[in-house]
Each structure stands twice: as C-alpha cells, then as structure tokens.
Structure 1
Amino acid sequence: MLIAFAGITVLMLLFMITFLKINPFVSIIIASTSLGLMTGMPLNKVIDSIQSGMGTTLGFIAIVLGIGAMLGKMLEESGGAERIAKTLIGAFGDSNIHWAMMFVGVVVGLPVFFQVGFVLLIPIVFTIVKESKQSLLKVGLPLVSGLSVVHGLVPPHPAVMTAVDICKANVGKTILYAIVVGLPSAIIAGPVFGSFVSGKMPHFGVPKQFAHQVNTNRAEHEMPGFGISFITILLPVLLMLLGTSADLLLAPATPWFVFYKFVGSPFMALLLALLFSFFSFGLNRNLKLRQIGRLCDRSLAPMTGILLIIGGGGAFNKVMQDSGVNAEIVRMASALQLSPIVLTWTIAAIIRVATGSPTVSMMAAAGIVAPMIANHPTVAPEIIVLALGSGALVLSHVNCSGFWIVKEYFGMTVAETLKTWTVMVTILGTCGLLFTMLLANLVK
C-alpha cells in the first residue's frame, strides 16, 4: 500500500503540473502533504518532514546555486562564452560545426544551468545556420546535447551535487566518471542523431521571430581571450579534482591535505572561481566593482523559482523517507534481486516523466535509492549518481521547461519537438545507462 500511495502521489503531481497548470513548487508541496496523510503520518510529523527536508536540502544547495548563478552571469556579460564558442568553431571548421557545438555546450554548460547556457549560445547557433546554410537541427541538437549531459551528470550542477551528498559519493571521482560516461553519450545523442534527423527534417532554418539575433555578435575587442575564459570556467572543476587528489596522494594529518580539501570543497571551489571571474571577466575588462555587484544582483532573481523547486524536491524526499515508502521500495527491490544500477535509473526516469524536472527527479530518486548502497557495497556511490543523472534525462515532454524552450527557439511544433528533442534526451539517458553499467564493471 505504501508503494501504491506513492504511485498515486506521483500521478497526482503529474496531473497538477501538466493539466491543471499549477506551479511546480506548489504541486510538489501538495503532493508531499498528500503522501504523508495517505500513509498515516501524524499531522505534526507531516509538517516537520516538509520543513526539515526543504531546509536541509537548501542548506547545502543554495550556496552552490547562488554562486553558480553569479559565475554564469559574469560569463554571459563579458562575452567569454561567445569567445569560447568562436574559438572552438574556428578549430573544427564549417564541415564539423556540429561537433564543435557539442563541445561548446559541454564547456559552457559546466558552470551554468541548461536554460542559461541555451539562451546564451543560441544566437551563435543562428549565425552559424545562416552563414553555413545548414539545418538548425544539425547544429542545434548537438549544443543542447552537450548542455544536457553536463546538467544531468557533471558536478557542480546543483542536482548532481545534491545526489553526490545524499549518496555520499566522491565529487572528484564523480566528475571523472561523468566525463567517461557523458562524452560518448553526448556524441551519439548530439552530432550523430542530429545529422540523422536533420536529413529527415531538413527544412529548419532560423525562425523569423529570432532573426534579429543573428547580427548581435560582439566585436573581437569586446570579448576576453580564449585562454582566460576557458580557465575561468574550468577553475571550479579543477579545484574539486585537486581536493580529490589529496585523498590519493597525501596523508590526512598533513597541512597540505587540509588545504587541498578546503579549496577543493564545492562551496569554496565555486567561490574562488567567482572571485577570479571578477578579475578575468570584470576588472580586466574595465568594469568597476559597483558594476560587477549589479551583475551579481541581477543573476540571483531568476534563481528564486529554481530554489523553491529544489527545496520542494527535498521536502518530498523527506516525506517518502519518514513515511516508510523508501524502505518499502528498498525491501521489495532487494527481494527481487534487481540490479541497483537499473533500478536507480528506472526510478529516476519514472519521476522525470511525472514531474518534468531533471532536478526534482534526481533528488527524489536519490533519497529513495541511497539506502540501497549499504546493501550493495560492490556498487560505487559515484556509479549510482551517474545512473540517477542518466535516468533523469530521458523522455522530456510537455511538462518540462526545456521542452518548450527548445520548441520555441527552434520554431517547431509540439509533434516535431517530440520527434527531435524528446528522442535526443532519451538517447542521451539510455546511452548514459549503458555506459554506466560498462564503467561499473571496470571500477569494481
């Protein structure tokens, strides 16, 4: 009955978001409350679980999200993202432009959310499409593939960092494993599938409503250099890898070990990268500190809704845990002898289809499957995180904000978006599962 109640709650959540158009945060809180009541939790315990789950989640993730938003804003306003894109495109050439755009999505998507990276880079895609006369699908799908894979698999994105925290995974190992799994998945879902589907639907050019963005590129002197831009974006990842290296190379009692772990923590790595961006993207570009402060202020307002959704996901996790639903799922899964990797992917995929949010699905599924790690010590927690991220990418449809963003900017109908974007992310998530399972056999 506990699992039946959870299933009813997920269906109710889907109905509220998709058909009633209720705000996702409000829908998640209603669903969390309903699940607590249906499972017989005391009324005061339902409230306590929601508050505790939301507070605990935001206590960890709000810092990552806030600093990441400011770093992304510095990247956008300085022209650093455009510089990186142009340099990579020049290196790949016109005939391999779709490969370049996938790598652009991967690199630029590291410090920013999918929506931010997409809106930031789509004018460059439009320019390439107009100049090369290639299909928008062939150039654009590899970009969104690269953005999606780092959003779902690679720290320091908030959902991945939350899953890392819940599963007690190592951040550095997760980054390394995510690159091994994510790059081939993005290649298959992006350049390979994009080239195929553009041959079936070759008529896509720049939509008329966005044609004005084609001529908005910055002049050369208005953008920072490629090297400084690339270093700034990769700095938080490099610092977190430095923290991980301390576990392998240094004794825990040494001062250098403590220092490496300090600068390699997600919070400090992002903070140091942000401070560095104030110089590389700000002071070095003749911006005043007052102007940099205004940019940071403007970056935080759009994050309010995302923070609430993330907090709501944490509340839902806590109610599922306190109501006994998680324990029942783990018990049944153990009795059926299912692969923990496949089970993790499936749970994340089901919640993704229900809620439309990779962030919510990763967090909710992480709370469910985390107890399984103790029962399967041979499966590394980093592998579980990758399975969560892969499952959270599949089957984006009408309840997903990314679905509508891609639809509008690509000038497609709902049916065309289902045939292209939805298929692309499903390929991405499925390949992610297959490569994760292969990697699990190598890291035992």
Structure 2
Amino acid sequence: MSDTDTDGERTGGLRVAMRGRDPDEEHRASTPLELLFDLTFVVAVSQAALQLHHSLAEGRLGPGVAAYAAVFFAIWWAWMNFTWFASAYDTDDVPYRLLTLVQMAGVLVLAAGVGSVFEDGDFTVVVLGYVLMRLALISQWARAAVAHHDGRAGALRYAVGVALVQVGWIARLWVPGAWAWPTFVVLVAAELAVPAWAEFHRRRTPWHPGHIAERYGLFTIIVLGEVILASFTAIRSVVAGRGLSASVLLVALGGLLLVFALWWIYFAVGEAVLSSLRTALTWGYGHYVVFAALAAIGAGLEAASAASEHHAHLSIRAAGLAVALPVALVLLVLGGLHRAGGTGTPGHAPLLAVGAAVVVVLGLCSPALGAGGAVLGMGLAVSATLAADLVVLRRRSGTPRTTPGHTEGPGRRGASGPS
C-alpha cells in the first residue's frame, strides 16, 4: 500500500505508528485487505441465510427469525466495527495485518456456530468467534490510543467499552434460559452505546466518509450476491428433482428482478453525507436492517421455490410473505437512510413506501397468484418503483441519476461514525 497518514508517513511498513488517516484524503478506496476480510463474511452470511431457509421450510418461523436476527447482529456489528476502525487507522503494517487475520479467523469460528444457535439455541461457538474478533479490535484501539495523541481519549473509551461488553457476552453463556433473550437485548444495547459514548464531546475519530460509503456499498453487493446464490441453489435442487416448472421459472425471474432493482435503488441516489455523529449513527446502524433483510430475501426465495413444488412445511402465503416482508423492509429503511444521509429527494421515501406496501399485498395474495406469480409480481412492482423513483430524482435534481454508484465527487467532509 502507498497511502499516507496525517503526518505524511507511508503506510504498509513493518510497523507504522497509528496516528490516524486523513479524513480529507483524495481517492480513498477499499484496500485489498478489506476486500479479503469481506470474503470471510460471505461464509457467515451464507450460513445465517441457509439456516433461516431451513427454519422457514420446517415451519419454525418465530424461533428461526429470532435466531437469524441474533446471529446477523454479531456478523454485521463485527464487520461494521472493523470497517469504521480501518477507515480511521488503517496503517496496513504487519501488526495491523496480523490482527486483521485474527478477526478473519473469528468470523469463520462464528460461522461454524451458526447452526447450533438455530438448532439448540446454543451461542457458545458464536460467542467464541465473536469475542475473538473483538479482542483483536481492542488491541487495534489500544495501538491507536498509544500512537495518536489527538484521538487518545476516544480510542481508550472504545477499547474499554468493547472489552467490558465482551465480559458480558461471556457471562451470558451461564445465565438461565429464561434470561437468555433479555440479557441478549441488554448487551446489544450496550454494544450500540459504545460508539456514542466514545465519540461524545468532540472525541471524534478521523473516519473517511467517502471510504465508508464505498465499504457499505461493497458489502451490499456481497449480500445481494448471496441472494443470487441462494436462489440458484434452490432452483437447481428443484430442477434436479422434478425438472423446470413454470412456477420455479417465475420465482427465478422475479428474484433476479428484485436483486437488480434493489441494487439500483440503493446506489441511484449517490453518496451519503455523514456530516454529524447523529447522522453517521443513524445511517450506519440502519444498515443492519438493510443487510439482514437483503440476505433474508435469498432464504425467502428458496422457501418460495420449495413451497411452489410442495417440498416445504410452509403455506404458499407464508412463503410469499417470506419474500415480501424483507423486500418491504429494505425499501422502507432505504427511504429513511437516504433521507438521513442527505441524498433522498422529498418524493423518494414515499415512493419506496408505496412500493413496499404493494409488495406486501402481493405476498398476501400468494395463494391466488401462486408462489411464482407473487414473486414475479414483486419483482415487477419494485422495478416500477425504481422507474418512478428515477423520474422523481431527475425532476427534483435537474440531473440524471440513472447510473448506480453515481457520486458527487470526492469523499464528504466532517464525518464521524461508529466502531
């Protein structure tokens, strides 16, 4: 790597002082190490979506969704922590790379424990992998506290806060069953509170807003790729057993339309403006719902394919809603996030809300339309929402925004956000 930090030193040496990256650095892009790191999360996301599919197919809706939400929080939060830290303190030296390797190992351990959470409610392996990742991050924050005088107070708060919460996660493994979920909620709240506490009273860490926006966009593409893979796997399984049917073909076509239209909607509005801590927290935390719901669409499409061929203990309506509800969640939350990020026009969020409502209605009408017809209808509805949204964006801004990933220039200034 050849980037420079705020003191002009080159990164990528044997050992480099963590003095903070320049938040105004031009042409800041994701590094090869960050991309490699993301690939380990492909495994974790895939395992979570696969187990959710099995739960849906077996008719265990409540426990399956609860386990999925819990596991995906661990996946998302660990990814987001690394992403924001790397945006501020990526020295790419040997200690940094080795600690990143430890975090990657933790992701794989976490992925290995996903099945136990869904089957038995056993979080032992997931917590082991999660704590392993967090210990590596604590070490990174400690390095930053030692080397970066201006950011020392915030870095120390991050290190202490993250460490204390990990003690809580480990202790939770021994709590009685009745307290398992209440303590889980409390610890999630504690995790989410750490960044706000660490960044309080101008203890700002030098995040790069353009870099952060790109990292979130890349992870969105990764999750959408999981949806495509899950859909392909389901269709291949059905075709191998009974041959290609009209219903399965419609599910495949509708799923592809959904992926493409949601991808376009996500990127159509340009780069978020993370100008304050509140904006950054809202935008960053809101992506939990976006990522989790996108991955859940893949499980829903698998369930719809199975239900259309009567291979699942799931009604056609339930299968349709398994696709419709996560799609609607993505649309609704994206409308709010685009507004929070300063990229949505006045008509943007209402249009997405209308699209979400139509998708839910189509899910409810699955028994009449068939699983394939309902999914295809959802794909067409989201595509129509996209088309209307592009017209509104063009009229409001006076500038065409039909190119996904369009940005307004280099990274935004003054960002601050969570880790």
TM-score, normalised by the number of residues in structure 1: 0.29
TM-score, normalised by the number of residues in structure 2: 0.30
Higher RCO (C-alpha 8 Å, min separation 6): 1
More helix by share: 1
